[in-house]
């Protein structure tokens, strides 16, 4: 090896400094700025904004997000992001909205999945089990899968029995494999 190749190898193997933490956005100063930030968060194409971004939207953001989530004419992606934002804002109003959306059959998959996952972030295990266990019997298999995964992760003691019972039905096991794995790993 030449001295140059050794130098290049050493440079590539050297530890890199940790990536800087993203700065939290400053709180909105005006209602117009808040509305602009909400629209920017809902307009993301890839991924969801960080939890700190949702929390920085300030008071009244939950009302705007609820309006978008409930708007049947809005794109499902925007509605789902609004529900994700609500789950990071928290509070009784967000819990009620997420529980309501999670229970609704016929919503676009992205919207219902966001509600199921958001409920998993907010509700205590017993309340989560009460809210999401009926979804294990939903018509759409993807809804059952998301509900089972959220329950297995966030409320295993309360829910793994119901997940196993659903998996025992003909044809259900493959869709619930990840949830069953979590239940097995939790010892429930």
Same domain, residue pair 98 and 127: no
Q: Per the domain annotation, does 14 fall within a domain?
A: no
Question: Contact 68/82 with Cβ under 8 angstroms?
Answer: yes
- Picking from 75, 90, 115, the residue at the C-terminal end of a domain is 115
Residues 73 and 104 in one domain: yes
Give ∠ CA 63-65-66 in degrees, rounded to 5: 65
Half-sphere exposure (Cβ direction) of 11: Cα atoms closer than 13 Å:
6
Judge if 42 and 102 occupy the same domain: yes
Quote the Cα angle for 84-173-123, to 5°: 30
Q: What is the pLDDT of residue 28?
A: 47
* Pair (43, 110) in one structural domain: yes
Task: Identify whether 19 is part of a domain.
Answer: no
Predicted pLDDT at 58: 83
pLDDT at position 135: 97
42 shares its domain with 107 = yes
* 179 and 151 both lie in a single domain: yes
In a domain, 38, yes or no: yes
Do 84 and 117 touch, CB atoms closer than 8 A?
Answer: yes
**Residue 130 to residue 123: CA distance in whole angstroms:** 10
Residue 132: domain span: 123-188
Residue for token pair 């794109």: 75
- Does any domain span residue 6? no
The answer to the question of residue 176 being in a domain is: yes
Q: What is the pLDDT of residue 3?
A: 62
Give the model's pLDDT for residue 130.
97
Helix (H) or strand (E) holding 40: helix 31-42
Overall domain count for the chain: 2
CB proximity list for 61: less than 8 A, separation 6 or greater:
34, 38, 54, 85, 89
Please give the Cα distance from 21 to 50 (Å, whole number): 12
Per-block mean pLDDT, blocks of 10 residues, the chain (188 long): 55 55 58 90 90 90 95 96 96 96 97 98 97 96 97 96 93 91 76
Whether residue 25 lies inside any domain: the answer is no
Residue 8, domain member (yes or no): no
pLDDT value of residue 16: 57
């Amino acid at each position: 090896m030449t001295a140059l190749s050794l130098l290049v190898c050493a440079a590539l193997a050297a530890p890199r400094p940790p990536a800087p933490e993203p700065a939290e956005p400053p709180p909105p100063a005006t209602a117009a700025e808040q509305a602009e930030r909400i629209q920017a968060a809902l307009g993301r194409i890839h991924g969801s904004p960080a939890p700190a971004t949702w929390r920085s939207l300030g008071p009244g953001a939950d009302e705007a997000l609820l309006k978008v989530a409930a708007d049947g004419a809005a794109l499902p992606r925007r509605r789902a992001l609004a529900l994700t934002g609500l789950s990071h804002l928290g509070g009784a109003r967000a819990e009620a909205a997420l529980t309501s959306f999670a229970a609704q059959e016929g919503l676009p998959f992205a919207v219902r999945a966001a509600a199921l996952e958001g409920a998993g972030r907010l509700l205590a295990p017993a309340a989560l089990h009460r809210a999401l266990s009926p979804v294990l019997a939903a018509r759409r298999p993807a809804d059952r899968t998301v509900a089972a995964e959220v329950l297995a992760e966030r409320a295993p003691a309360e829910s793994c029995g119901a997940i196993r019972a659903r998996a025992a039905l003909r044809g259900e096991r493959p869709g619930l494999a990840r949830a069953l794995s979590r239940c097995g790993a939790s010892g429930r």
